[in-house]
Structure 1
Amino acid sequence: MQDAREQFFQYLAKQKLRFTSQRAIIFDVFWNTQGHISPEELYRKTREQDRSIGQATVYRTLKLLSDAGIAREVDFGDGVARYEPYYGQSHHDHLICKECGKNVEVVDHRIEKLQEELASQHGFTLNEHSMYLYGYCAECSGK
């Protein structure tokens, strides 16, 4: 967490912005939340620690965290923006249930290799990508 915090602090300094106490709370809550969090969920959690934090501050700070490479927006196809820690995290893809919204982070090195080969065949060099696989989890497909 300390490296991510330092990265964020340095990014803010380059942008001539301050690392305020409100940004520190938002960073800490975001970084210490397991899984994927929406801006609204982050807003509710940060307000538990500091009632003066406004919704716009949370949205702006999430944007700054994304721009700094600390957070990444994920799209589960339900119209809700969610964020996950990105800095220092290993790459993974997502399996998403279209019924209940359950999501599972997965890594398959065979798929990663195929994606690199596919990109190479078309003259591309990959530097990042994301993959979302939509379907039904075992519980929902059994209904």
Structure 2
Amino acid sequence: MSEQGLRITDQRKTLAKLFAEAEGYLTAKDVYDEMGRSYSGLSFDTVYRNLRVLHELGVLEQFVFEDGIKFKVHCQEAHHHHHLICLQCEKTYPLVFCPMDTGCKVPDHFQVVKHKFEVFGYCQDCRTEQQT
């Protein structure tokens, strides 16, 4: 954050620590509720603005689930990839396949500058659990 000219505040340190210790995804409300215990007067707008900044800096990834937007620490894969996400336990697996690389037909008049592609389903553990 400091490399991008942002001040490192106690709130931002707490936010970074919260995501570093989180095992799964967090919603803005999760973050707001957790940080509100330590910072009275914290506004939801401040939380969301900081989440957006961390996403823009590439620190956090943002995912759209059926129940809303969730954030997670950016994965450490060095190459371009996508994700398989379990809808029950939210485990995330890298998917090295990219549909854009397989002849995805984009009209000539449209320039792609970025894209997202996630596949949602159930991991083997959760499928086995559902069957018992």
TM-score between both structures, scaled by the size of structure 2: 0.69
Shift of 1:103: 2.3
* Percent identity of equivalent pairs: 18
Q: 1:83 maps to what in 2?
A: 71
Q: 1:118 maps to what in 2?
A: 102
Q: 1:70 aligns with which of 59, 63, 66?
A: 59
Structure 2, unmatched stretches of 5+, are: none
Q: Distance in 2 between matches of 1:108 and 1:18?
A: 35
Q: 2:2 maps to what in 1?
A: 9
Q: Distance in 2 between matches of 1:126 and 1:116?
A: 12
In the TM superposition, structure 1's runs of 4+ consecutive aligned residues that sit over 3 Å from their partners are 114-117, 121-129, 134-137
> Does the CA contact (< 8 Å) of 1:94 and 1:105 recur in 2?
yes
In the alignment, does 2:45 pair up with 1:45? no
TM-score between both structures, scaled by the size of structure 1: 0.65
Structure 1, unmatched stretches of 5+, are: 1-7
In the alignment, does 2:81 pair up with 1:94? no
Answer 1 or 2: which has greater helix percent. 1
Question: Cα RMSD between the aligned structures?
Answer: 3.1
User: SS at the partner of 1:37?
Assistant: coil
Q: 1:60 maps to what in 2?
A: 49
Q: 1:32 maps to what in 2?
A: 21
Q: 1:131 maps to what in 2?
A: 118
**Structure 1: which amino acid aligns with 2:2?**
F
